[in-house]
């Protein structure tokens, strides 16, 4: 006997990479379990109607559940008493089940990444009116504060500025920040304007200005020159999880006990962050050696020292002074990032990853990874692995 299928309205903004990734996770869940019949936005050339008409069509369809971006009329939809998961773009909805990112962790990840590259001057490019932007700014600033650095902040406010005028204002802001500097943008969409501003201010990216965004919007990140590095929010996994939670809510009348909060997955390196902001030639040589060899070989501190003309004591002292870190810590960061990438993006098992990276046996890589991340490799793959369509 065929199990019941539920009518689920998915009202997401497919123009944005984050929403598209969430949608990928939702649809992959349904490919596996075949529990949903979907209501999507129709193309505007078919139904160029206003929001009231859309909500009337949705109401007449009688959905069993709804996954929706924040939009006009959503408060009235809450009154329908239909299981509803909201993906807000301004702030969390009280009394609703929200899909939300661990935005402070996103900001902190960006700051730690830039600090490991030796940057001493930072900027944050965000939005004045959005809670998620403020949280990313707070996470980034808190992480740089530990290193004694206060970033410069530029916040776009659509009440006082036009989107197309942003490059001119950003050029003036960039000129006031000492170089080399690293800019963390709270979303990739801002970085199109930031690259234009850098060009106007005659700053070379990445040599004088490193740029990192959020969302890993491959269309935006790959269309530019140089290409743009970005933080993958793990939104595909988040979409899978909210679909799972919504099904339980509809089938068993068990509302999720808390909001769905997803942690960032990884930094996707591209050309905009490929430089190192190190004014010491020996430290730069050491970091280049680490970044080149640590992903594939179990190098140690002595290997790094031998790539320079310094003694171990002097090189360790310089790492502490310039990076607020040790040589061994920098080796671990590179190797952990590589393990994370292989677990999330490849089909290699733990034994194969251990072999690829020069570990003696899988037990060693498991202990190493667990100590650094709090996850064993299989737990990490389950939480952050790419869902295959």
Q: What would the pLDDT profile of 151-183 be if each residue is shown by its tens digit?
A: 999 999 988 889 888 999 999 999 999 999 999
Which of 353, 307, 350, 346 minimizes the C-alpha distance to 330?
Answer: 307
Q: Is the pLDDT of residue 49 over 70?
A: no
Distance CA 49, CA 227 (A): 37
Task: Supply the pLDDT for residue 288.
Answer: 86
Q: What pTM value is reported for the model?
A: 0.83
- Which residue's entry shows tokens 């509803």? 84
Torsion sign across C-alpha atoms 182, 183, 189, 193: negative
Query: How many residues are listed for the chain in this entry?
Result: 389
Give the integer Cα–Cα distance in Å for 182 and 121: 6
Condensed to tens digits (0 to 9), the pLDDT of residues 124-152 reads: 999 999 999 999 999 999 999 999 999 99
Provide the terminal-to-terminal Cα distance of the chain, rounded to the nearest Å.
27
pLDDT for the residue numbered 291 = 86
Cα–Cα distance between 345 and 340 in angstroms, integer?
Answer: 8
pLDDT, mean of residues 345-364: 91
Rounded Cα distance, 389 and 380, in Å: 19
Residue 42: pLDDT over 70: no
Reading the block at residue 326, the tokens are 């040790």
Q: What integer pLDDT is reported at residue 1 of this predicted model?
A: 45
For all residues of the chain together, what is the average pLDDT?
91
**Interatomic CA distance for residues 371 and 365, integer angstroms:** 10
Residue/partner pairs of 348-351 with CB below 8 Å, 24 or more apart = 350/377, 350/378
Q: Quote the pLDDT of residue 43.
A: 58
Q: In the prediction, which pLDDT does 50 show? A: 65
pLDDT, tens digit, for every residue of 264-307? 998 999 999 988 888 788 998 898 899 889 999 999 999 999 99
Banded model confidence at residue 45, pLDDT cuts 50, 70, 90 = very low
Is 62's pLDDT higher than 50? yes
Residue holding tokens 């098992």?
349
Model confidence over 24-36: pLDDT tens digits?
999 999 999 999 9
């Amino acid at each position: 006997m065929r199990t019941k299928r539920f009518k689920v309205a998915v009202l997401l903004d497919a123009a944005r990479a984050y929403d598209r990734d969430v949608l990928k996770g939702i649809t992959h869940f349904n490919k596996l379990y075949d529990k949903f019949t979907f209501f999507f936005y129709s193309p505007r050339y078919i139904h160029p109607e206003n929001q009231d008409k859309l909500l009337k069509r949705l109401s007449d369809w009688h959905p069993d559940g709804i996954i929706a971006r924040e939009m006009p009329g959503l408060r009235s939809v809450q009154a329908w008493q239909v299981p509803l998961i909201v993906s807000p773009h301004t702030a969390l909805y009280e009394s609703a089940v929200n899909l939300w990112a661990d935005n402070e962790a996103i900001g902190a990840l960006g700051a730690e990444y830039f600090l490991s590259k030796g940057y001493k001057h930072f900027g944050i490019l965000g939005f004045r009116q959005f809670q998620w932007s403020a949280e990313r700014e707070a996470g980034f600033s808190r992480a740089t504060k530990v290193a004694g650095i206060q970033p410069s902040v530029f916040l776009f406010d659509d009440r006082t500025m036009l989107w197309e005028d942003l490059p001119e204002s950003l050029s003036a802001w960039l000129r006031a920040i000492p170089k080399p500097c690293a800019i963390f943008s709270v979303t990739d969409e801002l970085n199109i304007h930031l690259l234009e501003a850098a060009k106007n201010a005659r700053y070379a990216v990445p040599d004088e200005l490193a740029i990192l965004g959020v969302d890993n919007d491959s269309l935006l990140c790959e269309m530019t020159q140089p290409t743009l590095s970005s933080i993958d929010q793990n939104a595909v996994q988040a979409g899978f999880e909210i679909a799972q939670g919504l099904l339980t809510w509809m089938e068993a009348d068990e509302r999720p006990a808390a909001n769905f909060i997803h942690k960032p997955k990884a930094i996707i390196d591209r050309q905009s962050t490929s430089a190192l902001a190190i004014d010491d030639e020996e430290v730069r040589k050491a970091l280049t050696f680490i970044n080149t060899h640590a992903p594939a070989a179990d190098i140690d501190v002595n290997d790094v020292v031998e790539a320079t003309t310094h003694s171990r004591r002097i090189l360790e002292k310089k790492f502490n002074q310039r990076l607020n870190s040790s040589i061994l810590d920098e080796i671990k960061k590179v190797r952990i990032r590589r393990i994370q990438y292989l677990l999330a993006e490849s089909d290699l098992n733990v034994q194969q990853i251990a072999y690829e990276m020069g570990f003696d046996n899988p037990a060693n890589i498991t202990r190493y990874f667990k100590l650094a991340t709090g996850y064993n490799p299989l737990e990490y793959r389950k939480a952050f692995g790419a869902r295959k369509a």
